[in-house]
Structure 1
Amino acid sequence: MQLADGKKVYFASDQHLGAPTMEESLPREHRFVKWLDEVKHDAAAIFLLGDLFDFWFEYKTVVPKGFVRVLGKLAEIRDSGIPIYFFVGNHDLWMNDYFETELNIPVYHDNQEFSFNGKLFLIGHGDGKGPGDKGYKRMKKVFTYPFSKWLFRWLHPDLGVRLAQYLSVKNKLISGEADVKFLGEEKEWLVQYAKRKLETKHYDFFIFGHRHLPMNIKVGENSSYMNLGDWIGFFTYAVFDGTSLELLNYPD
């Protein structure tokens, strides 16, 4: 994609709407919707890199209650012709085709390459990538196995959603979340992942979420890794103006 003059590409991740409760996450939803309403004026595309919801599961005829403000805003933006791309995270990995059929927003379950103004991006949520975190990687295989989803679907939504929300908050093995503190480049597994990818192919930018920690780290002579932080404590997002990629905070 070649960006038109004045147009930008926006990236955000890890809003975790619904956590720890719907009531407590409502101000964050308002803040995120306000951000969407502002960036739509010069957005060439918007990328949401997962964990928009703290839990999401699509039954055949049921989706989790709530989130009408953000869903309505996404529908409005997409209907205006602005492309939106969604990458599932570890909290909304059971997303199927609801976004695609209802909102016309493509959903990706793994990293994807995009090119803007000749710059090559590798984009994804980031969970389960790089060395280590073997417990979560095993758990993810269990949760993404079709039989596991089939079994969960047999739970009544009132029970299934309540159980999943409880585990999402309480069980860090399931959530795959680490402490929100910088571990050092040699221990930041997405930094190591990016460096390993550069051994076989050049990317100008690696953009991931999941870590909940805003980071912008040089991983090669002409390559950088950026983590988007979150919309819980940092309220950060990234913007590419056609030349440079910047990590910004959205004020209250």
Structure 2
Amino acid sequence: MKLFISDLHLQEDRPALTEAFLRFLDERAVHARQLYLLGDLFEYWAGDDDLDTPFHRRIVTALRGLAERGVELFWIAGNRDFLVGAAFAQAVGLTLLPETWVIEDHGRRIVLVHGDAQCTDDVNYMTFRAQVRQPAWQQQFLAMPLAQRKQIIAGLRDNSRKDQAAKSHDIMDVTPQAIAAVFNETGSTVMIHGHTHRPALHAVDGKLRYVLPDWEPERTPPRGGWIAIGSDGVITRHALDGAALA
């Protein structure tokens, strides 16, 4: 069985979210052969030199324990944690994947992305994304003291919240053209992604696009969940309590 999650936005001041994630690892992911983390596992990641904070160490230890029990872990960066690097991967025991990755399952090509690169109508974000994904920018940013990086990230998060409040929901969603391009370029018939916080199953032109949920277990009713591909190849969507969704 393969499991897929994204957009947890783990952070120390949301203990219910942390507990929900750890419970998922202990009760669900431990039974999988592979777990794919498709971006924004963390609310932000300032660099691998932040590994040893107590909160981050708790998450790393839990993931490492899962890997040591034989579950293969794979990581695609999100828009909040794209600075995760080799030190984090080594500490956890996971494999870092490029931003577009194709897996083969039961004769199907399934493409995995975070989803932010396909929100092409959000021109301001796409410009920002192009800048911060450049190796030279990342090298310069990571050379700054950790405390300074965290201050900059806090400012970027504040600006992002203000920008999102002024944007239409459609602008912050993926565009049909960008999705079609990913399907065409990869020769895939199934896509799994997150980022938009709009969990759904879309069927277009004979292709299936599964959108992962963000996690908010504090809400009533709780929000969150995952996608599974069983040993029989059947793809299912699951709510936070494990219930299968249509």
The question of a shared fold, defined as TM-score above 0.5 by the shorter chain, is answered with: yes
Residues 175-228 of structure 1 show CA distances to partners (whole Å, capped at 9, x for unaligned) of: 9x976x6x49xx95254433344446642310001101101000222x200110
Paired with 2:128 and 2:185, the residues of 1 have a C-alpha distance of 29
Moved more, 106-115 or 159-168: 159-168
Alignment CA distance shift 1:220-1:188 (3 Å): farther
Q: 1:102 pairs with 91, 96, 99, which one?
A: 91
- Partner residue, 1:210: 195
- Partner residue, 1:55: 44
- Partner residue, 1:4: none
**1:138 is the counterpart of 2:131:** no
**Cα pair 2:174 2:196 within 8 Å, conserved:** no
Give the superposition deviation at 1:54: 1.1
Correspondence 1:159-170 to 2 at 5 A: 159-170=148-159
**Cα pair 1:152 1:160 within 8 Å, conserved:** yes
**1:16 is the counterpart of 2:9:** yes
Alignment CA distance shift 1:147-1:200 (3 Å): closer
Moved more, 208-217 or 63-72: 63-72
Alignment CA distance shift 1:42-1:202 (3 Å): same
Alignment CA distance shift 1:109-1:73 (3 Å): same
> Which structure has more helix as a fraction of its residues?
2
- Partner residue, 2:213: 229
Q: 1:148 pairs with 137, 149, 163, which one?
A: 137
Alignment CA distance shift 1:79-1:174 (3 Å): farther
Paired with 1:109 and 1:197, the residues of 2 have a C-alpha distance of 14
Percent of paired sites with the same residue: 18
Unpaired segments of 5 or more residues in structure 1?
1-7
Give the superposition deviation at 1:250: 1.0
**Cα pair 1:12 1:238 within 8 Å, conserved:** yes
Moved more, 124-133 or 136-145: 124-133
> Residue 189 of structure 1 aligns to a residue in which SS?
coil
Paired with 1:119 and 1:112, the residues of 2 have a C-alpha distance of 13
- Partner residue, 1:243: 233
- Partner residue, 2:104: 115
Paired with 1:202 and 1:178, the residues of 2 have a C-alpha distance of 33
**Cα pair 2:197 2:212 within 8 Å, conserved:** yes
Alignment RMSD (CA, Å): 2.8
- Figure out how many residues of one structure are paired with residues of the other and give that number: 234
Q: Which amino acid aligns with 1:15?
A: L
Q: 2:35 pairs with 40, 46, 65, which one?
A: 46
